[in-house]
């Protein structure tokens, strides 16, 4: 059965959204799916987004929940009810699963969430939590569209542009676990934001841009900051869009703002003589999410917002403790802390991370997004000068607050001459749904021949090769980095990696190391780096596996040459082709079956 719809999904850190468009329409009409979800223990409502929170109720609570048909026995409840329960039962609430997917220092397949939960709480893995949100969206679609089953539609799932191959593979795994069709496509979130803007503008987008324009997509969501540059070119008299660069993975966003506000609130509690225990601090983090949204909402005329947490001391059981946070105090705290005025030559400070340690995520040590932006523009400039964007497209729920958009524009206006200051893109978009809408529009355009953003992979990839030589006691053998994927390699293409044969370890456990770069644009397959800085190459998830062998592999090494492929889904595959027989092995950050 052929697909009737394109479905675009934004699997967000704090909210997930599903948009769709009919494939047979002459023009893309993108709509949002209303998502039924529990909003309290005894009520179900439909909302335009599904909060990306998972509540794991105690056995005694499960029969009390109204529940949805696809929530099984009520042991795992996703959405608004789970988000609200975070402030009351933080030890049973999973948050920021998407951020955990890219945390390479933990095993994302293991049940580790909620982080450091008590032993009586049955935990889930980041992959399971992500799959739960996706399966909820799929079930909501099937309930609303019984004549067009979800699994038979064309699905576009968005990921941060800064996600490396390992994080994309884990997202891919979660999607398949949730029942997404095997041929679903991954799309980078900043690109989806551009597609949404194009869809909003219609034919006017070509009049709004000019050849030579450089668009900065500044996407600050709940968990990450994603920076992307898109250039405007011309081919045969028509405008074309080309992705020029993507930024490094920056784990700083709305969650960090909630933490900052929670830290301020904890000081107010301390002034009243209330010292919070670790789980009250996590509950406070959840409470401050709602407080932040209220305090930054310009339609809200209240100057203060109450923040409360459940009492946990012997005298406070069943009660609450409360403080009031001032709107101006919160606005200045967040604007100056995350979007401070700085020079174009300023850089993020490198220092040990601090904060609420029990959350366990490797947040950026310097949360100043404006300094990260200055470093990004400098990395992609020429002759020691930063690249100058001409236009700015804001994306992500954080920018619903005018104060943050205005601060970004003000800071960049100070960096460049007045007549060269970047200007905001014309037209308004629903920042909460722009990514999902853009994904649906992209899928429709891919089928019907509309505008496409070119650019291929946003980073180059390398494998670590241990060099030969005499062993030195106490010192590892030197490692070189072999480029196997150049930046800009298009989806659906492959490439031979020239160079001498490499010995591949088979028949025993081995650790394969991978690296990536967003700044080394000129490297081509076969280039070998003997040394590099942390700013040039970042190590991605290593792959530990035992590749199958034959009895003839006497010394456990098989000479191979590399063959790289970027699939239509945007996944990186590295094939190792034996030079002595017809065997080959595939390394894909999860080893699939040996292919003949």
Burial environment of residue 162 by CB neighbours within 10 A (0 to 12, 13 to 18, 19 or more): buried
- Exposed, middle or buried: residue 312 (CB in 10 Å: 0-12, 13-18, 19+)? middle
Q: Which CATH architecture has domain 5-186?
A: 2-Layer Sandwich (3.30)
Residues of the chain by 3-state class (helix, strand, coil), percent to 5? 30, 30, 45
pLDDT the model gives residue 312? 60
Give the model's pLDDT for residue 74.
67
List strand residue ranges (DSSP E) for 291-341, in order: 304-310, 320-326
- How many C-beta neighbours within 10 Å does residue 519 have? 16
The predicted structure's pLDDT at residue 60: 78
d(CA 594, CA 592): 6
Instruction: Report the length, in residues, of the chain.
Output: 596
- Prediction pTM value: 0.86
Q: For 522, left (φ over 0), alpha (ψ -120 to 50), or beta?
A: alpha
Q: What is the 3-state secondary structure (H, E, C) of 338-352?
A: HCCCCCCCCCCCCCC
The torsion angles phi and psi of 5, rounded to 5 degrees, stand at: -135, 155
Residue 55: both structure tokens together: 């509540």
Q: Where are the domains of the chain?
A: 5-186, 460-587
Mean pLDDT, contiguous 10-residue spans, the chain (596 residues): 92 97 92 95 92 91 69 80 92 95 88 93 96 97 97 96 86 95 92 94 91 96 94 89 91 94 92 86 90 87 86 53 90 96 94 49 91 96 92 95 95 88 86 95 90 85 79 67 92 89 83 88 93 88 75 71 83 88 75 33
CA distance 216 to 401: 19
Report the DSSP pairing between strands 509-512 and 543-546. Answer: antiparallel
Tokens of 463: 């494998």
38 in Cβ contact with 64 (< 8 Å):
no
């Amino acid at each position: 059965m052929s697909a009737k719809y394109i479905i675009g999904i934004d699997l967000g850190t704090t909210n997930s959204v599903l948009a769709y468009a009919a494939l047979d329409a002459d023009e893309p009409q993108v709509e949002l799916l209303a998502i039924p979800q529990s909003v309290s223990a005894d009520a179900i409502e439909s909302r335009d987004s599904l909060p990306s929170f998972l509540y794991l109720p105690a056995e005694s609570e499960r029969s009390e929940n109204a529940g949805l048909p696809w929530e099984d026995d009520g042991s795992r409840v996703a959405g608004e009810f789970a988000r609200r329960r975070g402030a009351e039962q933080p030890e049973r609430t999973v948050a920021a699963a998407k951020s955990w997917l890219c945390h390479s220092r933990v095993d994302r397949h293991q049940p580790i969430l909620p982080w450091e939960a008590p032993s009586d709480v049955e935990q889930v893995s980041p992959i399971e939590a992500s799959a739960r949100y996706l399966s909820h969206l799929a079930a909501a679609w099937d309930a609303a569209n019984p004549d067009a089953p979800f699994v038979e539609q064309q699905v576009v799932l968005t990921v941060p542009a800064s996600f490396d191959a390992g994080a994309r593979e884990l997202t891919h795994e979660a999607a398949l676990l949730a029942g997404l069709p095997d041929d679903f496509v991954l799309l980078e979130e900043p690109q989806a934001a551009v597609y949404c803007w194009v869809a909003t503008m219609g034919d006017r987008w070509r009049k709004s841009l000019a050849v030579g324009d450089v668009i900065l997509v500044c996407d600050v969501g709940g968990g990450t900051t994603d920076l992307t540059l898109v250039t405007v070119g011309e081919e045969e008299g028509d405008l074309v869009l080309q992705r020029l660069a993507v930024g490094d993975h920056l784990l700083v966003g709305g969650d960090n703002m909630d933490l900052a506000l929670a830290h301020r609130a904890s000081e107010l509690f301390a002034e009243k003589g209330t010292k919070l225990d670790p789980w009250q601090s996590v509950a406070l983090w959840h409470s401050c999410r709602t407080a932040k949204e209220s305090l930054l909402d310009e339609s809200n005329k209240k100057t203060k917002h109450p923040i409360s947490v459940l009492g946990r001391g012997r005298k406070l059981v069943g009660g609450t403790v409360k403080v009031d946070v001032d709107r101006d105090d919160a606005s200045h705290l967040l604007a100056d802390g995350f979007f401070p005025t700085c020079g174009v030559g300023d850089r993020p400070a490198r220092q040990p991370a601090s904060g609420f340690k029990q959350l366990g995520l490797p947040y950026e040590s310097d949360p100043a997004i404006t300094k990260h932006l200055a470093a990004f523009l400098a990395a992609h400039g020429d002759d020691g000068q930063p690249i100058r964007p001409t236009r700015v497209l804001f994306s992500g729920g954080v920018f619903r607050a005018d104060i943050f958009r205005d601060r970004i524009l003000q800071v960049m206006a100070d960096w460049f001459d007045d007549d060269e200051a970047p200007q905001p893109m014309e037209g308004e978009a629903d920042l909460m749904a722009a990514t999902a809408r853009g994904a649906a529009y992209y899928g429709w355009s891919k089928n019907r021949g509309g505008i496409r953003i070119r650019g291929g992979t946003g980073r180059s990839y390398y494998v670590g090769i241990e060099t030969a030589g005499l062993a030195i006691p106490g010192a590892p053998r030197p490692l070189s980095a072999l480029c196997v994927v150049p930046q800009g390699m298009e989806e659906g293409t492959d490439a031979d990696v020239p160079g001498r044969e490499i010995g591949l370890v088979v028949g025993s456990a081995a650790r394969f190391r991978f690296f990536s770069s967003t700044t080394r644009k000129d490297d081509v397959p076969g280039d070998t780096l003997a040394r590099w800085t942390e700013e040039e190459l970042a190590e991605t998830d290593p792959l530990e596996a035992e590749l199958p062998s034959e009895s003839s592999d006497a010394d456990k090494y098989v000479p191979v040459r590399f063959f790289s492929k970027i699939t239509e889904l945007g996944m990186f595959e590295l094939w190792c082709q034996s030079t002595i027989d017809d065997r080959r092995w595939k390394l894909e950050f999860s080893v699939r079956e040996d292919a003949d």
